[in-house]
Structure 1
Amino acid sequence: MHICFITHEYPKSGFPHGGLGSFVKTIGEALVTKGIRVSVVGMNYTSCYEETTASGVSVYRLKRSTVKGLSWWLNFKAVTAKINEIHKLHPIDIVETAELGLAFLPKIKEIKYVIRLHGGHHFFAEAENRGVNWWKGFQERRSFAKADAFIAVSKYVKTHTEKYLSYRNKPLGYIFNPINTDLFHPIAVPTVPFQIVFAGTVCEKKGVRQLLQAFPLVKEQFPAATLDIYGRDWLFPDGSSYRQMLMEKELPKLGDFATSVHFHGAIAFESLPSKYAQANVCVFPSHMETLGLVAPEAMAMGKPVIFTDRGPGPEIITDTVTGLLCNPLDSQDIAEKILWVFEHEALASEMGEKASREISSRFAVDAVLNKNIDFFKSLIGKKI
């Protein structure tokens, strides 16, 4: 079997990437261990073509077009050409991409095309209570019409996407994203007392601003508390920095407490476990997620985790049993959950241990991998 993933976010040293890139890397490398050929095609982070093989995964990073007004079309053409080239050398069985990925991709009749619902334009338009952009909406509808099958990474993303887009009675699987438990597992290192750790894109929908607003409420009761924020910056449409906005508008409101807040920027995926390991509590007050990898990753390490009570939050965490759920728009509620962890050390530790066991059974690569392989086999009718 040969599976080709289309993504522009496949991790590359020295460049930030999102959860989609992490997912493809984790599942791609796992598929290779099962004897499955895996290719990844996407635009490069730099203005050149690169072809590499990493942990058995063939990665094709294409030269990104800079032609104003036509770059989107030329990039799609480049992806199409590369898929055709790969298919002639090593016939592809499955092409998988995210919601918009098939919009202008011509189909090859021998290949089954799968959309994995990571959270598309319609999904986040609804979640963030904003209008649907006609151009992105058109692309997504066109892409969905071409798909032969779909995979939802949570029940929530499946339900809320189908409010706007039809699955056309095509096969649909419900499969969590896998967690690399070789990386994310309990590590015996000293915990930094009262350290709060956030990881993820530094943007409004990840709840970073509300977390900053909650911090003084925690600091007043625990003066030694610190807040460490890891993740890439997000840019407004005019190119200005969201992180810079926080530093200019939100940090001054913290007064002297601002010196206990540290923005570390993006770090290597492999470095995340060490940051979680030393945290007293990991907090991810997202306004919306399709699934969210950071929460289950930190949970797999046995850390007390505070996650959003919105969207798929309750699918991941059983509140007060395997973690805590918070209202991501209520800084007071976020603060109260952090304070609970600081005030109930033994109970929080027990909660983290339960979380680690549950995540290992529900999100472990092998368990999730087999579900993916079975789904792919059902589409192509091939034995591996």
Structure 2
Amino acid sequence: MHIAFLTSEYPHKRVTHAAGIATSIKNLVVALSEKGVKASVFVYAQKEDAVFNEDKVKIHLIKKRSYKFMGWFWHRKYIEKYLNSYIVSESIDAVEAPDWTGITAFMRFKVPLIIRFHGSDAYFCKLDKRKQKFKNFLFEKWALKNASAYIAPTAFAGIETQKIFGLNKKKIKTIHYGLQLKDFKNETPLIYNRTTIIYIGTIIRKKGVLELAEIFNKVIESNPEAQLILIGNDSPDLKTGISSTYTLVKSLFSNEAKKNVNYLGKIPYSEVKNHIKNAHLCVFPSFAETLGMVTIESMALQKPVVNTSIGWAQELIDNGVNGFLVHPTDIDFYAQRILELLNDESMSGKVGIAAREKVEALFDIDKIADINIGYYKSIIE
């Protein structure tokens, strides 16, 4: 079996962008290749055209091209032609693509198309309570309607996407993202920086970063030694139009809190794991995710997590057992949960151990790859 993955991001130094989607794709394609399933990754909107192999996976970089008229259409048709040529020459059995922006709208492949719900613009707009551009909705709906089947990383993401676009429920299969657990081992779980709280993710309103500033202000009032580290790209704020969301976040910190905040910006992925290991706990007060890779990565490294209580997170964490779930707008209670963990190292350790056990049970990529293989076969046959 040979599966092609169409994506705009992938974790490689020659690729212009890589985030949670990129990590989830790489984890899967590497696991598939180790099980004898051939995987090719087609990364569009890049700075160059190139084809090379890494980790038994063939990677195609497709250079972004400019068109004088209807670029959104001709860009898709170019990708379609490129992919179809390799579908024939390399006997590709199916194409998997994301729902974001409806990239496969106006494309017709010679094999079945499977769309994974990494998170459409419509999905995020609904959760973030923002109005979506009608053109974006049409592209995404067109792309989804033309797919043979769908994969949702959480049941919540599947249900919400089905409602938004009126999809056939029977065509949606819930398959979690997974981790290479051997790459997420914490050999020294009792060695960490006490009172250090870490947030990892884009600095953007929908991730709850504005609420996080207010939460940390409350934490500092009770524990002046607490430290907050933020890691991730800054982004423009759609609501105010300013170019830096972190500027908004910074303005919300109290004078005392500001002294204990360290924003590192974007750092190499290899360094992120060390920051997680060194932290006392991790916080992810997001309003909009489909699953949240960094949550399960933190749990795998035996860190207690205070997450959002919205939909998808309830499938990752059993509240009070292997983490905590609190709505981002409940500032006082969110701060209280953080303080409980900071003040009770024994509880932090127990929650961290249980978090690792949860990841081993539900998010082991070796097991998840088998589920994907079975589903691909059902679509191809």
TM over 0.5: yes
**Number of the residue aligned with 1:19:** 20
Alpha-carbon distance in 1 for matches of 2:88, 2:242? 41
Which deviations, in whole Å up to 9, do the C-alpha atoms of 1:151-190 show, x marking residues without a partner?
Answer: 1111111111121213336532111011221222223162
Q: For 1:183-332, list aligned pairs within 5 A.
A: 183-188=183-188, 190-236=191-237, 240-247=243-250, 249-251=251-253, 254-332=254-332
C-alpha displacement of 1:322:
0.8
Q: Which amino acid aligns with 1:38?
A: A
Conservation of the 8 A alpha-carbon contact between 2:186 and 2:277:
yes
Which segment drifts farther, 178-187 or 112-121? 178-187
* Letter of the 2:92 counterpart: I
What amino acid sits opposite 1:29 in the alignment? V
Asked whether the 8 Å contact 1:7–1:97 carries over to 2, the reply is yes
Write the distance in 2 (CA, Å) between the matches of 1:288 and 1:362: 21
**Structure 1 stretches lacking a partner, 5+ long:** none
Equivalent residue for 2:43? Answer: 42
Q: Distance in 1 between matches of 2:246 and 2:222?
A: 26
Q: Partner of 1:136 in structure 2?
A: 136
Matched residue SS, 2:311: coil
TM-score of the aligned structures, taking structure 2 as reference length: 0.93
Task: Give the CA deviation at 1:63.
Answer: 1.1
SS of residue paired to 1:267: coil
Please tell me whether the aligned partners of residues 198 and 282 of structure 1 are also in contact (alpha carbons under 8 angstroms).
yes
My pick for the range that moved more, 20-29 or 120-129, is 120-129
Task: Give yes or no for contact 1:201–1:231 (8 Å, CA) kept in 2.
Answer: yes
Please identify, of 6-15 and 214-223, the stretch whose mean Cα deviation from structure 2 is larger. Answer: 6-15
The amino acid that maps onto 2:243 is: S
> Which residue of the partner structure matches residue 52 of structure 1?
52
Task: Give 1:92 deviation, angstroms.
Answer: 1.0
Letter of the 1:114 partner, please give it. Answer: I
Deviation at 1:45, TM superposition (A): 4.1
Q: Secondary structure at the match of 1:339?
A: helix
Q: Percent identity?
A: 28
Return the offset for 1:113.
0.7
CA–CA separation in structure 2 for the residues paired with 1:84 and 1:52: 18
Distance between the aligned counterparts of 2:312 and 2:4, measured in 1? Answer: 28
Aligned residues: 375
The answer on whether the counterparts of 2:162 and 2:169 sit within 8 Å (CA) in structure 1 is no
Task: Tell me how far apart the structure 1 counterparts of residues 333 and 13 of structure 2 sit (CA, whole Å).
Answer: 37
Q: What's the CA shift for 1:239?
A: 7.2
SS of equivalent to 1:354: helix
TM-score w.r.t. the length of structure 1 is 0.92
> In 1, distance between residues paired with 2:327 and 2:228?
19
Residues in 2 aligned to 1:84 and 1:45: alpha-carbon distance in whole angstroms: 19
Question: Which stretch has the larger CA shift, 142-151 or 214-223?
Answer: 214-223
When residues 12 and 236 of structure 1 are mapped into structure 2, their CA distance, relative to the original with a 3 A threshold, is farther
Aligned 8 A contact 1:282 1:305 in 2 = yes
Alpha-carbon distance in structure 2 between the residues aligned to 1:215 and 1:132: 31
Distance 1:323 1:376 in 2: 33
Aligned partner of residue 283 in structure 2, secondary structure: strand
2:159 alignment counterpart: 159
Aligned residue identity for 1:283: V
8 A Cα contact 1:127 1:288, kept in partner = yes
Aligned to 1:114: 114
- Contact 2:152 2:158 (C-alpha < 8 Å) held by counterparts: yes
Q: Which residue of 2 aligns with 1:104?
A: 106
The alpha carbon displacement at 1:367 in A equals 1.0
Q: Distance in 1 between the 2:353 and 2:84 partners?
A: 48
After superposing the two structures, state which structure 1 stretch, 119-128 or 363-372, moved more.
Answer: 119-128
